[in-house]
Copies of this chain bind each other. A is one copy, B any other.
């Protein structure tokens, strides 16, 4: 169940997303203003955070864990339209109704800011607005990248693209050992993968098996993936050889 919660750190200056989130450009004075209007909420894996159409009186940053943004049609077809990782922003200043459903994909900690005072800060402290613009432009690029995946890639390429993205993110955190096998935890069920990729969960399962059979990936358990040769995975994703990966 969702509850007010305390994170493992004391204040903003020790926050793990201090230098990547919407507050990244703030100086200590500005940070103090944010401290006043923030509170933490945590959710366990699988819990809904918000339903599309809900009233929201806050905006928030993901502190730890993974959340998903999804859109659903009346007949139940659903499409994931965003994967929210630590430092990503939820909500839209100036809009009090949620456009998308937000779900905690793993255990999740969010840093929430009360809407009204946050919107005032947007007007008064340019650093918040500047950082939010940068982040939104990055999100837009990511969304457009994903449109190519959804519109033009085969099922196998879609899977490889998703694994590349997650591997890339993980590589950024752990120490990169070039040439060595890269191993990471997959934070999504087969169904969530299918919803992200515009596929059925059966097709996801089949293509995962095929990639395993072909030696592109190896599985230990259901969720732990290891990639012996990152270039091979990127090739399967159909991206340019460089792909912007660690170059």
Contacts and interface: CB of A to CB of B under 8 A. Distances in A.
Interface string A44-85: 000000000000000000000000010101110111011000
Interface in A168-210: 197-198
Contacts of A81: 144, 147-148
Interface stretch (A28-36, A105-113, A129-137): A129-137
A79 B137 contact: no
Interface residues of A, number: 40
B148 A147 contact: no
A240 B73 CA distance: 8
Contacts of A139: 140
Contact of A129 (B77, B130, B144, B239): B130
Contacts of A134: 94
A235 to B, nearest CB: 11
A12 interface: no
A43 interface: no
B147 A146 contact: yes
Contacts of A77: 152
Contacts of A82: 144
A149 B24 CA distance: 34
Interface in A123-175: 123, 126, 129-130, 132-134, 136-137, 139-141, 143-148, 150-152
Nearest to A81: B144
Nearest to A150: B150
Contacts of A197: 151
Given A73-B148, A81-B148, A150-B198, 4 more contacts: A71-B148, A81-B144, A126-B129, A129-B130
20 contacts: A71-B147, A73-B152, A73-B238, A73-B239, A74-B240, A77-B152, A79-B147, A79-B151, A99-B141, A126-B126, A129-B133, A132-B133, A133-B136, A136-B136, A136-B137, A139-B140, A147-B147, A150-B150, A150-B198, A151-B197
